[in-house]
Amino acid sequence: MPRVLVPIADGFEEIEAVTLVDVLRRAEADVTLASVMPRRQVTASRGVAIQADCLLDECADIGWDLVALPGGMPGAAHLADSVTLIRLLEAQLDAGRWLGAICAAPAVVLGRSGLIGDFRATCHGAFREELRQYVREASDEPVVRDRNLITSRAPGTALRFSLSLVEALYGRDAAESVAGPMCVENF
């Protein structure tokens, strides 16, 4: 069973985070929602309170098969401010393990931290010009997979993004078997 980390911080995009957790758990991944804040209860960008499974410092030493970053502001900025998370992301990429980021996270977390210079990626349109400074190629596609990095644009692409992560972990057939009962066509 793949182990997946979804870090969150105050101001995260709730559609993205909850969709990630939901879809990956439907695929039977062992998903941990971890707060980078000093408390487990985190408030999303639209005021929704979410209780994380743990604090990031309690689970940072686990070898994750996938780390998936939701966007939202200022949530992505708070993720970028976490020294523990940035170290974990560096190790994830160095080990060739999967890393996913959506919305503001590709530019704000990964780009500003200098982690994705040789990658092709996408992000929310509001951060596209910034992303161009940090990557080999910035794309307008809804989901971009380049080696062990999968990026996506915004809340509207969260379901497709999450299914792409399932596909990366388990293969296309598994992603289609998760998508089918959810009535997702042509992801």
Residues 21-44: pLDDT tens digits? 999 999 999 999 999 999 999 999
Domain boundaries, the chain: 3-175
Residue with tokens 């030493």: 61
| 13 flagged as catalytic | no
Residues 6+ away with beta carbon under 8 Å from 161: 16, 19, 20, 100, 102, 142, 143, 150, 152
Domain 3-175: CATH class, spelled out: alpha beta
Q: Which of 13, 14, 78, 103 is catalytic?
A: 103
The pLDDT confidence band at residue 168, using thresholds 50, 70 and 90, is very high
Average the pLDDT over 168-176 and give the result. Answer: 97
- Whether 187 shows a pLDDT value over 90: the answer reads no
For residue 56, give both structure tokens.
Answer: 């990031």
The pLDDT confidence band at residue 114, using thresholds 50, 70 and 90, is very high
| 54 flagged as catalytic | no
Tell whether the torsion through CA atoms of 40, 23, 75 and 47 is positive or negative: negative
Residues 48-70: pLDDT tens digits? 999 999 999 999 999 999 999 99
- Whether 185 shows a pLDDT value over 90: the answer reads no
pLDDT at residue 145 in the model: 98
- Three-class SS string for 103-129? CCHHHHHHHCCCCCCCCEECCCHHHHH
Which helix (H) or strand (E) is 78 found in, with range?
helix 75-80
pLDDT at residue 118 in the model: 95
pLDDT at residue 11 in the model: 98
| 185 flagged as catalytic | no
pLDDT at residue 76 in the model: 98
Residues 117-167: pLDDT tens digits? 999 999 999 999 999 999 999 999 999 999 999 999 999 999 999 999 999
Report which of 82, 8, 14, 12 is spatially closest to residue 52, judged by C-alpha positions: 8
Q: What is the β-pairing status of strands 66-69 and 30-35?
A: unpaired
CB 121 within 8 A of CB 60: no
pTM for this entry = 0.97
Q: Which of 13, 14, 123, 124 is catalytic?
A: 124
Q: Which of 16, 78, 123, 167 is catalytic?
A: 16
CB 46 within 8 A of CB 14: yes
Which helix (H) or strand (E) is 54 found in, with range?
strand 54-55
pLDDT at residue 186 in the model: 82
